[in-house]
Structure formats: structure tokens, C-alpha cells
């Protein structure tokens, strides 16, 4: 869905706290959303909203958010439904769910002005959908390895995403398959030169193993997201037209 990112400057991550003690929560229409705000409102400062990918959650933006705050801006990072500290609602995990989660969260914290969106992988696709839906609330969009172009999927992956039979197949072997892929690839499909940074990879695997094994509903939410996004077909296409970003659905 996206190319591996060059994260060579990052060697490891802070210790993982599965209690999410530093997270604030907002009760939204589909459940609780965990979020953190870095920085304070300052004259001339910007408001930046970060959107993570399909598997990880907001921890991947910790260092970036701290840098944004140090530069005099505010940065909101949050966990999409089914990930990290947020709830796992029983609903299709389609783009609209995450778009409305973002909008409701911005309303909750009082950010009704245009914000700068930063989306990585699936978060890039959600950023485009959000911009199409609420263009007056977006100041700019930055896409990092975005999942906005068609990708080829092997037959087994397409089978797992088929209605009914896909859900049954994933319920039987999905969790085991996710763990096997995680431990065999060791994040090589997510970050470049992963073999050179074993501490970082181990920290990522620790977090993902926790999600797969200990967050109730995470594998199901992951599968529903895969089945509800048109990763193999036509996703929003980004074009630059007269100096502005335009998206085609």
C-alpha cells in the first residue's frame, strides 16, 4: 500500500506503556478516542494534525510532534478507532468512519479553524478523504508514502478480503498470520534498512505484538479496514491544480 519510509535518524523508541497513562480521551459518537496535544497556542503558530497508518498508531508521530511543538506550533496526534488507546467499535472500518472521528475530535478540542494535515500510508488516504469532505477545515495536506494509488494483491490476500468467506478465513487464521508475518519480515516492509536498527525494530515488534495479542478486536478492526478501503482499486488521486490540491474519488 505504500513504500517503506527512510527513518534512518530514528534508532529506537521510548519504553512502551500499554496503560497509555499520558493519553487524554474524547467520547465520540463511535466510542472513546485517545489523543495527545503537543505545544501551546501561540501568535503565528500553526495547528497540525497527524494521521497514522493501518497497523501502527500515533506513537509513530511522537518525535515529529515534539519537534513541531519546539518550533512554536501545536500538534495533535491521535489513535484511529481499533488502534492504540482508542475504542474498537463494531462497524465497518471505512474511510468515512475515520473522517468523522477526526472531525468530531477537532470539534471536541475546539480546533474549528483550518488545520495542516500530515498523513502517512493509510493516514494519507484518510487525509485526502477528509479534505474532500471538509475543505474549509484544511489549510494544507502533506502525504508521506500515502496509500492513494492502486496496488496489486496476491490471490490469498484478495480471498481474505472477499465478503463473508474472507471474514471467516481471517477469523480462523488471521491473528496467527499477522504474527507470523510480523516476526518474519521484522518491519522490512515498513522501514528502510531495518536490519541496521535492531533496537528500533524490536520496539516496533513489541508494540505490534501487544496490539495483535492483547488489544481486543484489533485483528478484526485491521481486517475490516483492509476490506473497506479500495486499496486494490481506485483510491483518491492527488492532483495539483492552480496551486491547490484537488482530489478525485
* SS3 per residue for 185-207: HCCCCCECCHHHCHHHHHHHHHH
Query: What is the pTM (predicted TM-score) of this model?
Result: 0.87
Closest among 139, 73, 81, 145 to 112, alpha carbons compared: 139
| Spatial distance between the Cα atoms of 210 and 28, rounded to a whole number of angstroms | 25
pLDDT digits (tens, 9 = 90+) for 109-147: 999 999 999 999 999 989 999 999 999 999 999 998 887
Residue 77 grid coordinates: 496526534
- Comparing 53-62, 114-123, 151-160, 227-236, the range with the smallest average pLDDT is 227-236
**Predicted confidence (pLDDT) per residue in 10-45, tens digit:** 567 889 999 999 999 999 999 999 999 999 999 989
**Which residues lie closer than 8 Å to 230 by C-beta, 6 or more apart?**
none
pLDDT of residue 243: 45
Of 73, 62, 9, nearest to 40 by C-alpha is: 73
Alpha-helical (H) ranges within 42-143 are 62-70, 95-109, 122-133
Question: Each residue of 163-191: pLDDT tens digit?
Answer: 778 888 888 888 999 999 999 989 888 87
Amino acid at each position: 500500500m505504500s513504500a517503506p519510509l527512510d527513518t534512518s535518524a530514528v534508532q529506537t523508541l521510548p519504553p512502551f506503556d500499554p496503560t497509555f497513562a499520558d493519553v487524554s480521551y474524547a467520547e465520540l459518537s463511535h466510542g472513546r478516542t485517545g489523543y495527545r496535544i503537543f505545544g501551546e497556542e501561540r501568535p503565528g503558530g500553526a495547528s497540525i494534525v497527524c494521521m497514522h497508518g493501518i497497523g501502527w498508531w500515533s506513537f509513530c508521530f511522537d518525535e515529529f510532534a515534539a519537534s513541531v511543538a519546539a518550533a512554536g506550533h501545536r500538534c495533535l496526534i491521535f489513535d484511529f478507532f481499533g488502534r492504540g488507546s482508542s475504542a474498537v467499535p463494531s462497524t465497518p472500518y471505512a474511510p468515512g468512519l475515520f473522517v468523522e472521528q477526526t472531525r468530531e475530535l477537532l470539534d471536541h478540542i475546539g480546533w474549528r479553524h483550518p488545520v495542516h494535515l500530515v498523513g502517512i500510508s493509510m493516514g494519507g488516504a484518510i487525509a485526502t478523504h477528509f479534505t474532500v469532505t471538509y475543505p474549509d477545515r484544511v489549510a494544507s495536506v502533506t502525504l508521506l508514502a500515502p496509500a492513494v494509488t492502486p496496488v496489486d494483491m496476491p490471490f490469498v490476500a484478495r480471498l481474505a478480503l472477499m465478503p463473508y468467506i474472507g471474514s471467516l478465513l481471517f477469523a480462523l487464521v488471521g491473528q496467527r498470520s499477522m504474527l507470523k508475518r510480523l516476526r518474519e519480515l521484522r518491519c522490512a516492509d515498513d522501514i528502510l534498512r531495518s536490519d541496521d536498527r535492531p533496537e528500533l525494530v524490536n520496539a516496533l515488534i513489541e508494540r505490534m505484538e501487544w496490539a495483535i495479542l492483547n488489544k481486543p478486536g484489533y485483528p478484526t478492526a485491521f481486517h475490516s479496514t483492509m476490506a473497506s478501503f479500495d486499496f486494490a482499486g481506485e483510491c483518491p488521486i492527488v492532483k495539483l491544480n492552480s496551486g491547490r490540491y484537488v482530489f478525485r474519488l
